Structure 1
Amino acid sequence: MSNMNVSLRQLRAFIAVAAEQNFTRAADKLDLSQSSVSTLVHELEANLGLRLFDRHTRLLRITQAGAELLPLMKKAVSDIDSVILSSNELKTLGRGRVSIAASSVQAALLLPRFIKQFCIEYPDVKVELYDVAEHEVPKMVCSGEVDFGIGTESGNRLDLAAHLLSADAFVVVMRADHALARKRELRWQDLVDVPLIGPRQGNPIRERLDRALATEGIVLSRTHEAYLPLTMVGMVEAGLGIAVMSTAVTKLATGLGLVTRTLTNPVIKREVSLLFHADRSLSPTAQRFRDSLVRNKLEMSQD
């Protein structure tokens, strides 16, 4: 038994002969020669150590052992056919699943329209979107919880790879009645000693910003901290201070009656990247989603 080498072709030949009760008709059905089908059945019998058919001059009859094995072999072939079909559907995106993690702003304002277009093209593919805090995105990608993420790459993880999608400039978000709102353009130096609302320590956007400002000798202090951009915008609207955020929140901020001003001297941008595990391969479905996202570079969601 340990040397048994039953092939799918042998099983198909046996099932066809059992159905036709004739080697020639079975051969026609399988588009093989009669001798090939006969050989396959003989090989199967040898592998199993069982006679599957009683052969007479003008009569072919399945044996009791063959009759008992027939439904099992049909199910085995059917299961294998299902696996082959499923793999073909995955290759052609007939169905499948894609999972992506993104910060709440990217998840709410940038990705939905892209996901909608992708689902129109591939209606049987399920796209799972996880809206999380910015610092959670790389963790979920590295742990394998999601196929990839949209976020800022901190550069301190060797198992994380990044593909740049876009770059957002930093802006000040504030109430229209704030003193700084009267200025058409703000410098980073204008924010020193001003009560600021910002992300907590460990947030990759904050880390990138603080490093860039440190080279200019500028240090910002946060009076209030929060994990989610929506919370920060709400705190600004309530009059707790002003926030330094990326241009991605502009639509949300203006919708609440707040104003934004670009920060200059220097102009600092937050990079938005597609994050994926450096050593883990993607499914064909996830690859197509990734390629479409990279090709569009989120432009369709930012126009």
Structure 2
Amino acid sequence: MDVAGLEAFIQIAEFGSFRRAAEAMRLSQTALSHRIRKLEEDVGVILFQRTTRSLSLTRAGQDFFPEARDALMRLSSLYDNLKREGRQAQERVSVGCLGSLGEHFLPEVLREFRQRHPGVSVTVFDEPAAALRERVASGEAQFALTILGAQLWTQKSRPLFEEDFVAAVPAGHPLAERQELTWADLVGHPLARVATTTSHGFMLSESLGTFGERLDWAYEVQRVNMAACFVASGIAITVLPRLAIPPSTELRVIPITAPLIRRTVGIIARDGVQLPRPALQLQRMLLQAIARHPKTAAARAAKVQPGASDKGTTEASSSRPST
């Protein structure tokens, strides 16, 4: 479709003059005449009746004019809406992040990002892993920092580091002075776990298998902060990924061996979708912060080998404790 020719036709018809239309469009009359000739050749009909003293629309031009004007107005409106959406995409970033990870990495990253991009707003979806997958799939979140292992086929993933599940024990507990624990050491002690409907709880349940039935799951909560609160109050032990446990003088963090249970943390995004520049810059800043963090640098070097494919996924894995 000859949009330039349509615009020239509408301007000439409205002004009733080649000269005034050319002035309004900031074109020479020669260039404007060329556009009309090309349009008339394309459609195969004469649109203007020209004489040395007058200019008028032909019958075909009269029929064509209102339809062409409405079509160009609709096209202009669609174009403006698309430009507005493009500007908004450049002015807004949406990111998903597990709460236990966001508490460690997001505040400093977002402070620096705000200094660099004061006009860009950031929406953070701090939700469970399953909800984050859906946010990314729908485009509500441009990318997410989450647990890998069950991405949708439309998503790509980038593993960053692996993290052990550890025990959080009340400071005065009989096990608090131990340097490490086995799962058998936890038998007979009241435990608080995060619900099995969450990624943490599901991984733990799957990894423990039938041995989990020997443990006294006295309390079940929905969020890791509540489990840590129960530990700090002295009523339970909990088992969580290391970064999920808030620092506190009221609890001890102790590794659990025989066996280790781990989760793989990484970035997920929609496959084949290019991130807008601000979102890409925020993602790079987040990756740099993770690389610098003392609790992830060693784990990343030891557990995730360089050159890992962006398509790779890793689930929490272990051999199950012996009964």
Same fold, TM-score > 0.5, yes or no? yes
Equivalent pairs counted in the alignment come to: 288
Question: Could you tell me which amino acid in structure 1 is paired with residue 268 of structure 2?
Answer: L
Letter in 2 for 1:57: T
Q: Say whether residues 1:118 and 2:113 are aligned partners.
A: yes
- The residue aligned with 1:29 is 26
Q: Which residue of 1 aligns with 2:238?
A: 243
The one of 285, 288, 292 equivalent to 2:284 is: 292
Q: Which residue of 2 aligns with 1:38?
A: 33
Report the AA paired with residue 82 of structure 1: D
Contact 2:144 2:268 (C-alpha < 8 Å) held by counterparts: yes
1:50 & 1:186 partners in 2: Cα distance? 90
Corresponding residue of 2:247: 253
Residue number among 266, 271, 277 corresponding to 1:273 in the alignment: 266
| Pairing of 1:165-244 with structure 2 (within 5 A) | 165-213=160-208, 221=215, 222-244=217-239
Q: Which amino acid aligns with 1:298?
A: I
User: Secondary structure in 2 aligned to 1:117?
Assistant: helix
Q: CA deviation at 1:220?
A: 6.3
Q: CA deviation at 1:159?
A: 5.1
Per-residue CA deviations over 1:95-115 (Å, capped at 9, x if unaligned) read: 3x4333333323444323333
Separation in structure 2 between the aligned mates of residue 24 and residue 139 of structure 1, nearest angstrom: 52
Normalization by structure 1: what TM-score? 0.70
Q: Provide the C-alpha distance between the structure 1 equivalents of 2:197 and 2:26, rounded to a whole number of angstroms.
A: 66
The AA in structure 2 aligned to 1:259 is R
Identity of aligned residues (%): 22
Distance change >3 Å, CA 11–CA 99, structure 1 → 2:
same
Two-structure CA RMSD over aligned residues (Å): 4.4
Cα distance change on mapping 1:83 and 1:45 into 2, 3 Å: farther
Shift of 1:227: 1.4
Give the gaps of 5 or more residues in structure 2.
296-323
TM-score normalised by the chain length of structure 2: 0.66
1:110-166 CA-to-partner distances (Å, cap 9, x unmatched) read 323333433443444432212224443334444555334332234385455432133
* Shift, 1:167, TM fit: 2.3
Secondary structure at the residue paired with 1:137?
helix
Is the alpha carbon distance of 1:140 and 1:44 closer, same or farther for their aligned partners in structure 2, counting shifts above 3 Å? same
Distance 1:283 1:48 in 2: 45
- Give 2:252's aligned amino acid: V
Distance 1:48 1:199, change over 3 A: farther
Structure 1: distance between partners of 2:120 and 2:73: 28
Cα pair distance change 1:159/1:43, threshold 3 Å:
closer
Counterpart CA distance in 1 for 2:19 and 2:259 is 85
Return closer, same or farther for 1:34/1:137 CA change in 2, 3 Å cut-off: same
SS in 2 for 1:206: helix
Counterpart secondary structure, 1:57: coil
